[in-house]
Amino acid sequence: MKRRNEEIWCGVVLPDDVVVEILSRLHPKSFFRSKCVSKTWLALSSHAFRLNKHLQPTLMGFFYGSSDKSRPIGFANITGRVNAVDATLSLSALPHQDYIAILDCCNGLLLIVCWDFGRGVGVQRVSSSHYSYMYVYNPAIRKYIAVELIPEDMEHFATYTFSLAFDPQEHSRFHVVCFAHSYHEGEYINAFFTFSSDSGRWQQGGNMGCDLQITKSAKGTFLDGRVHRVTKRHEIVSVNPVDNSYLVTEFDFPALSAKGFSEIMQSEGRLHFMFLNSFQNMSIWVSENGNRQKWIFKHQISLHEVKFIGGASWHWNLKLHPEKDALIVHCKNGRIILIDLKTNESIEIFVLPNPKTYPKFWFYKPCYLV
C-alpha cells in the first residue's frame, strides 16, 4: 500500500514506464526536482536520465574571458534554449569573487583560479597582497572541489600551464595536469605534475627534457584517457594522468616547415591537429581510428578566401566545433562566426558584448553526474 499511496494522484496510478517517459522529457531543473516526489520516482530517475536528451552532454555554448580582471567571464548560449543552464550566474556559487579566471574546461567541469585581493589568508601567495585559490567547478549543479596548489618544492619553475582531465564515465574522479617550464644554468627544463582527486595531492609526473616546451597559448584537449598538448616545435605530448606516463607524437608534414601556430583539438570524437601559417593558410589532419601515430589530411583552407559577415577581418582565435565539421572564428568586430568546412559557408552564432576584447574560449557541455 505504501507504493500505491505514493503514486496515486487524483485516483490515478502511474505505471513505471509512464513515469520514466515523463522524466525523460523534463528539462534539467524540473528533472532533479522530480526526484524528490517519491522513492519510486527516485529509483526510476537513473533509467530516465539516460533517455533524457536534455541531460546528455551536448554543446550548450562557450565561456569566454580575458586576463583583464576588469572584464568578467561571460557565457555564450548558442542553443537558443530558454531552459539552458545559466552558466554565468552559477559562477557566483564560488567562495572567492574578487577575480576569477578559467584555466581549462573538460566535459562539463571548469578548472578555475580565484584571487582575493588584500586578504591575509590564502593557500598560495601570488604577490605581497594577492592570494589565489584553485577549484574544479561544475556550473550545472553549482558544486566545487578545492584543488591543492603546487607545493613549495615544485615552485622553482618559471611558468605553469594547467589541463583538466575528466571522464564522465568515471564521474567520481578527476585529474589536473600541470606542465612546468624553466630555464636554469643555460638549459631549458620541462616537466609535468599531476593532481588526483582520489588522493587530494600532487605528485611528480616526469621530466620531459629540454625540447618539449608546451605552447602556453594553445589549450589542448582531453580524449581517450590522455591530456593532449602541442609543443613549440609542433609535436603532441599526450599525458596519462593515472599512471603519469606520456607519449610524444612527431610530424613530418611539409606544411609545418613554415612559421605558424598549431593546436590539438577534438571534433566529432576524434583528435584533430590544426596548423595555421603566417600566410593565413590552414591545414587540418585527423587521427585515424584514434591512432595518434596515423594521421589523415582532412582540410586545406585559405582564410583570405573566406567571406566573413560584415567584411570584418578575423582574429587568431580559431577553434574546431566539437560536434560537427566546422570552424569557429572570432572576428575583430566582435562577431563569432561558424564556417562549414565542407561548403565554406559562414553564419553568425554570437556577438561579444565588447568587440575590442580578444578573449579565450572554452566549449561547454553541461554535466549533471558529479
List, for residues 181-207, the tens digit of each pLDDT value.
988 777 888 999 999 999 999 998 888
Residue 237 maps to a domain: no
**Percentage of residues in the chain with pLDDT exceeding 90?**
31
Numbers of helices and strands, H then E, in the chain: 5, 26
Query: Who has greater pLDDT, 152 or 118?
Result: 152
CA distance 339 to 359: 19
Q: Average model confidence (pLDDT) for the chain? A: 81
Rounded CA-CA distance 240/108 in Å is: 20
pLDDT, tens digit (0-9, with 9 covering 90-100), for 26-78: 877 788 788 888 888 888 887 887 787 777 778 889 998 865 555 578 888 88
**Structural domain contains residue 69:** no
Q: Which three cell numbers stand for residue 170?
A: 568515471
For residue 251, is pLDDT > 70? Answer: yes
Residue 45: its pLDDT value, please? 83
Q: Compute the distance between CA of residue 149 and CA of residue 162 in angstroms, rounded to an integer.
A: 11
What 3-state DSSP class applies to 356?
Answer: coil
153: Cβ contacts below 8 Å, ≥ 6 apart: none
Q: Band of the pLDDT at 221, cuts 50, 70, 90?
A: very high
- Within a 10 A sphere around the Cβ of 340, how many other Cβ atoms? 14
Confidence band (pLDDT; 50, 70, 90) for 130? very low
pTM: 0.81
- Reference 38, options 13, 72, 59; nearest CA is 13
pLDDT the model gives residue 110: 93
Cell of 324: 560537427
Domain contains 18: yes
All three cell numbers of 295, joined, read 594521421
Can you read off the three cell numbers belonging to residue 335? 562577431
pLDDT, tens digit, 9 for 90 and up, residues 252-287 = 888 888 788 899 999 998 999 999 888 888 999 999
Is 20 a domain residue?
yes
Q: Quick check: is 16 in a domain?
A: yes
Confirm whether 155 is domain-assigned. Answer: no
What local confidence, expressed as pLDDT, does residue 295 receive?
93
> In what side-by-side order are the strands of the sheet with 360-364?
74-77, 61-65, 360-364
Residue 236 corresponds to which cell in the numbers above? 603532441
Question: What does the DSSP 8-state code read for residue 367?
Answer: -
Other Cβ atoms closer than 10 A to 238: 21
The DSSP H or E segment spanning 141 is none
The SS3 of residue 123 is coil
Listed in sequence order, the DSSP H helices in 224-287 are: none
Instruction: State the residue range of the domain holding 28.
Output: 2-53
Specify the range with the lowest mean pLDDT, choosing from 105-119, 127-141, 164-178.
127-141
363 lies in some domain = no
Domain count, the chain: 1
In a domain? residue 328: no
